[in-house]
Amino acid sequence: MLKALLLLCLTTTTVFVQSAFSEDKTQSRSNLTFVAKPYDKSKNYMIYEIGFKTQVSGPRNRNRDAIRMLTVDLGMMHNLNEKTAIGASFYGSTGDRAMTLGIKPRIRRWLDKSRGVDLSAGLLFYGGGVGGPISGEYKWPGFISSVSVDVLRWLSADLSLETLSLNKGGSVTSLYLGVNGKDYAALAETGALVALLVIVLATWDSGSGWY
């Protein structure tokens, strides 16, 4: 699952970096930028966020510990005016519980030239894996919503809510608190994750597996 997320990150990273370095510096307003920029600087910008979130409330894992997840958001935003941008992102998470995939439309209100508040609400279309309460207990799609506030231009704090319907009837809701690295910070996180994966695979090959 982690490999799938890493592959997705690497595939899109090349496109995002090209868009960042190919923008026309002679124009005061770019058609597309890698870094989130307001209306007077960019018509559209990419969403590339890698984050970590931990469960605040809701059903725990089989060890009754809080669920922790690595998350990825990939998408695009369009600046409508000086204060508002709209768009959507593909969402993925993996961790203690399992893997989930979904899509999240979002709206952004710019606070200043570099920071803003993002509100999103969307659907979780898939959840798979073993070892957690997500396996075979829930019906899809699920619902996810979140509010994200930029602490720095490249770092945001995130509060998200997930609601899933149970096969036996009823539903469960989990609340998560997390942080997201954005654009170049997310690239640095991707590099660190790839380096970690290479080390793990090298250790596995040299030792013919783990014991």
pLDDT in tens, 30-88: 899 988 999 999 999 999 999 999 999 887 765 555 678 899 999 999 999 999 999 99
Residue 209 lies in a domain: no
Residue 51 lies in a domain: yes
Residue 206 in domain: no
Task: Quote the domain boundaries for residue 147.
Answer: 2-201
Residue 107 resides in a domain: yes
Structural domain contains residue 210 = no
Q: Does the model's pTM come out above 0.85?
A: no
Quote the number of domains for the chain.
Answer: 1
3-state secondary structure the chain: CHHHHHHHHHHHHHHHHHHHHCCCCCCCCEEEECCCCCCCCEEEEEEEEEEEEEEEECCCCCCCCCCEEEEEEEEEEEECCCCEEEEEEEEEEEECCCEEEEEEEEEEEECCCCCEEEEEEEEEEEEECCCCCCCCCEEEEEEEEEEEEEEECCEEEEEEEEEEEECCCCEEEEEEEEEEEECHHHHHHHHHHHHHHHHHHHHHHHHCCCC
Q: Is residue 89 part of a domain?
A: yes
Tell me, yes or no, whether 38 lies in a domain. yes
Q: Please report whether residue 208 resides in a domain.
A: no
Q: What is the pLDDT of residue 76?
A: 95
